[in-house]
């Protein structure tokens, strides 16, 4: 019952008195067991869900090897964030360079990746080092690797086999020391069967595998991601916005086909749309509204415990209070006070609905200076 409410309040930055997401940096920061992006980090690094933490653990296990890593998953799931994290923890001295193969024309892909000499083709007025050269002693991240032109696949295969390459129009064999990470939302085995990807290259690309989970499979991370986006807006645009509990419920019920990228768009659009500091359900616009799942129950602050239980079930509540020690103490204090008041200060009953032991509740009350008010 209230154990889910406690987790929800902590993860959303809610208090029973305010019932909205706080964007005050002194009170709330994106908190997760693994925040691999530094101070707040890119949005994909925020999360405590088991699937996300498993993906982070998988990418970290690749740091000991220089083999090619492939990150699979739907678009917008944070594949580039995982790739950059691997670059950082691998302590490579070179740059982290990214390129989406799908955004480069087939005619220019070879020059972009491998470079060209002056005069190699019309318009080649100077020598141009390709991305592999630029990423020497660093990491090259190639997104949408399934879009690599067939005619370039043998050249890429030679690079992966350590045989180097020549710039377009050049004679010198260049063999930079590069960590290659690739990503795709396609089934590369199916691409091989369809004749669009060479099998030899497939086996050189698919060595160390990591999968980025979809947002609909880690919905418990939605509140943390929303908090991050709100803080980012506050820092960059001076927009201090808060999400009502009802608006957060709408976010939790949506199926997010565009994943984290779509969530960011929805949050930012709503923040700019509202004329007040509070984002309400009517401010939310979903691109695929007709496909969303059945509406989750949206409780008021006076809702019964059973209503909150149903609501939290829709949110995908998993965390326990003992795993939330990094959240602001003020919110924890307010939540415990709410549970005690709901149960007329019966500690045993309050501990039960909070999902913790009575002794743990007493310890928390002592730590937070909570005492029963005098009648």
* 82-98 confidence digits (pLDDT tens): 999 999 999 899 999 99
313 has a pLDDT exceeding 50: no
pTM over 0.85: no
Which range of residues forms the domain containing residue 199?
50-212
Do 244 and 310 lie in a common domain?
yes
Give the number of domains in the chain: 2
Residue-averaged pLDDT of the chain = 79
Is residue 373, in this structure, part of any structural domain at all? no
Span 9-32, mean pLDDT? 37
| Sequence-ordered strand ranges (E) for 87-246 | 96-100, 139-143, 165-166, 173-174, 179-184, 208-211, 242-243
Same domain? 318 vs 267: yes
- E-strand stretches of the chain: 69-72, 96-100, 139-143, 165-166, 173-174, 179-184, 208-211, 242-243, 278-279
Q: How confident is the model at residue 19 (pLDDT cuts 50, 70, 90)?
A: very low
Whether residues 115 and 11 fall in one domain? no
Largest Cα separation within the chain, whole Å, is 90
- The percent of residues in the chain predicted with pLDDT above 90, rounded, is 49
Q: Are residues 199 and 290 in the same domain?
A: no
pLDDT tens, residue by residue, 326-374: 334 555 666 787 778 778 889 998 888 777 888 888 888 888 778 887 6
With respect to residue 39, please indicate whether it lies within any of the assigned structural domains. no
The pLDDT assigned to 14 comes to 39
Q: Do 194 and 79 lie in a common domain? A: yes
Query: 141 forms bridges with which residues in the sheet?
Result: 98, 181
Same domain, 195 and 248: no
Q: pLDDT tens digits, residue range 108-159?
A: 999 999 999 999 998 899 999 999 999 999 999 999 999 999 999 999 999 9
Domain membership of residue 41 (yes or no) is no
């Amino acid at each position: 019952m209230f154990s889910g409410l406690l987790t929800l309040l902590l993860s959303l930055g809610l208090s029973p008195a305010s019932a909205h997401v706080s964007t005050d940096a002194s009170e709330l920061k994106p908190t997760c067991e693994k925040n691999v992006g530094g101070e707040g980090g890119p949005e994909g690094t925020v999360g405590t869900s088991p699937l996300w933490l498993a993906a982070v653990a998988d990418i970290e296990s690749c740091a000991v090897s220089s083999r090619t890593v492939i990150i699979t998953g739907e678009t917008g799931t944070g594949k580039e964030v995982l790739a950059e994290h691997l670059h950082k923890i691998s302590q490579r001295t070179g740059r982290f360079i990214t390129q989406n193969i799908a955004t480069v024309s087939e005619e220019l892909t070879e020059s972009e990746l491998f470079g060209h000499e002056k005069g190699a083709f019309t318009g080649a007025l100077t020598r141009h080092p390709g991305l592999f050269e630029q990423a020497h002693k660093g990491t090259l991240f190639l997104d949408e690797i399934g879009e690599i032109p067939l005619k370039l696949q043998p050249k890429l295969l030679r690079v992966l086999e350590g045989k180097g390459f020549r710039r377009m129009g050049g004679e010198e064999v260049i063999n930079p020391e590069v960590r290659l990470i690739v990503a795709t939302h396609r089934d590369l085995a199916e691409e091989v069967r369809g004749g669009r990807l060479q099998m030899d290259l497939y086996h050189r690309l698919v060595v160390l595998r990591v999968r980025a989970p979809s947002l609909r499979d880690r919905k418990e991370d939605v509140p943390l991601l929303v908090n991050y986006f709100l803080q980012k807006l506050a820092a960059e645009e001076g927009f201090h916005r808060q999400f009502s509990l009802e608006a957060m419920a709408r976010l939790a019920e949506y199926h997010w086909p565009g994943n984290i990228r779509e969530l960011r768009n929805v949050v930012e659009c709503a923040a700019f749309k509202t004329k007040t500091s509070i984002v309400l359900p009517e401010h939310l616009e979903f691109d695929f509204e007709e496909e969303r799942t059945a509406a989750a129950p949206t409780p008021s602050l006076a809702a019964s415990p059973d209503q909150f239980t149903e609501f939290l079930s829709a949110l995908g509540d998993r965390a326990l209070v003992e795993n939330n020690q990094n959240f602001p103490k003020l919110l924890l204090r307010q939540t415990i006070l709410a549970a005690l008041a709901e149960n007329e200060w019966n500690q045993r009953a309050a501990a039960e609905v909070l999902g913790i032991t009575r002794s743990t509740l007493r310890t928390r009350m002592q730590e937070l200076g909570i005492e029963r008010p005098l009648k």
